[in-house]
Amino acid sequence: MILKSKNLIALFAALFLLLLGIQAYFMYKTYQVKEREIYRDVHTRLTRFTDNLDNKASMKKVSDDSLQHILIKFTNKEIDKKEFLSLFEQNRKNTQDYFSKYVDHQFENQGYKVAVKIQYTSIFFLPSKTKLIDQPITLFETKNKVIKAGITNTGNWETTSKSTSDDEKKITKNNSFHVKSKTEFEILNIKSIVFKELTLLFLCCIALLTSVLILYIFTVKNLIQQQKQVEVLHTVVDNISHEFKTPIATLKIACKALKKDWNPETLPLIDRQIVRLENLMLQLHKDETSEETPLIKGEDWSFFIQDLAFTFPDTNFEVSNQISEELPLDKNLMETVIKNLCENSVKYGSSEIKINISSHSKNLKIEIIDNGSGIEKKELKHIFEKFYRIQSNNIHNTKGLGLGLYFVKNIVTKYHGHIDVSSRPKAGTTFKISIPYEN
pLDDT value at residue 419: 92
Pairwise CA distance, residues 108 & 111, whole Å: 5
Whole-angstrom distance, CA of residue 267 vs CA of residue 332: 20
Backbone dihedral angles phi then psi of residue 388, each to the nearest 5 degrees:
-85, 135
pLDDT in tens, the chain (439 residues): 556 667 777 887 888 888 888 888 888 888 889 888 888 888 888 877 666 655 544 444 433 446 777 888 888 888 888 888 888 888 888 888 888 888 888 888 888 899 999 888 888 888 778 888 888 888 888 998 988 888 888 888 787 766 655 555 555 667 788 888 888 889 998 888 888 888 888 888 888 888 888 887 887 788 777 777 777 666 666 666 656 666 766 766 766 666 566 666 666 767 677 766 666 666 555 544 455 678 888 888 888 888 888 778 888 999 898 888 888 898 888 988 998 899 888 888 888 999 999 988 889 999 999 988 888 888 888 888 877 766 554 433 445 556 778 888 888 998 999 999 998 888 889 999 999 987 5
pLDDT recorded at residue 332: 83
Closest C-alpha to 431, from 380, 374, 366: 366
Q: Which residues pair with 318 in a beta bridge?
A: 354
pLDDT of residue 170: 54
For residue 12, what pLDDT is reported? 78
CA 8, CA 82: separation in Å to the nearest integer? 77
pLDDT at residue number 394: 41
Beta bridge partners of 283: none
Q: Name all contacts of 377-380 with Cβ < 8 Å and 24+ positions apart.
A: 380/421, 380/423
How far apart are the C-alpha atoms of 434 and 113, rounded to whole Å? 80
Q: What angle do CA 409, 411, 417 make, to 5 degrees?
A: 80
- Taking each continuous run of H as one helix and of E as one strand, the counts in the chain are 10, 12
First to last CA, the chain: 40
DSSP code of residue 302: H
Written as one letter, the residue type at 137 is I
The pLDDT of residue 16: 80
> Can you tell me whether residue 136 is helix, strand or coil?
coil
Q: What SS3 state is found at 155?
A: strand
Spatial distance between the Cα atoms of 26 and 43, rounded to a whole number of angstroms: 26
Pick the CATH number of 224-291 from 3.40.50, 1.10.287, 1.10.10, 1.20.1050: 1.10.287
The helix (H) or strand (E) run that includes residue 274 is: helix 266-284
Say how far apart CA 216 and CA 218 lie, in whole Å: 5
Nearest to 70 by CA among 88, 92, 89, 93: 88
Largest CA distance in the chain: 161
Dihedrals phi, psi of 61, to nearest 5 degrees: -70, 170
Residue 360 near residue 354 (C-beta atoms within 8 A): no
Could you give the angle at the alpha carbon of 238 between the alpha carbons of 235 and 243, nearest 5°? 125
Decide: helix, strand or coil at residue 299. coil
Angstrom distance (rounded) from CA 37 to CA 222: 47
Q: How many CA atoms are closer than 13 Å to the CA of 356, on its beta-carbon side?
A: 11
In the chain, where are the structural domains located? Answer: 2-197, 224-291, 292-439
How far is it, in rounded angstroms, from Cα 198 to Cα 190?
12
CATH class of this structure's domain 292-439? alpha beta
Q: Do 224-291 and 292-439 come out as alike in CATH topology?
A: no
pLDDT at position 354, please? 92
Closest CA to 347 of 234, 249, 228, 205: 249
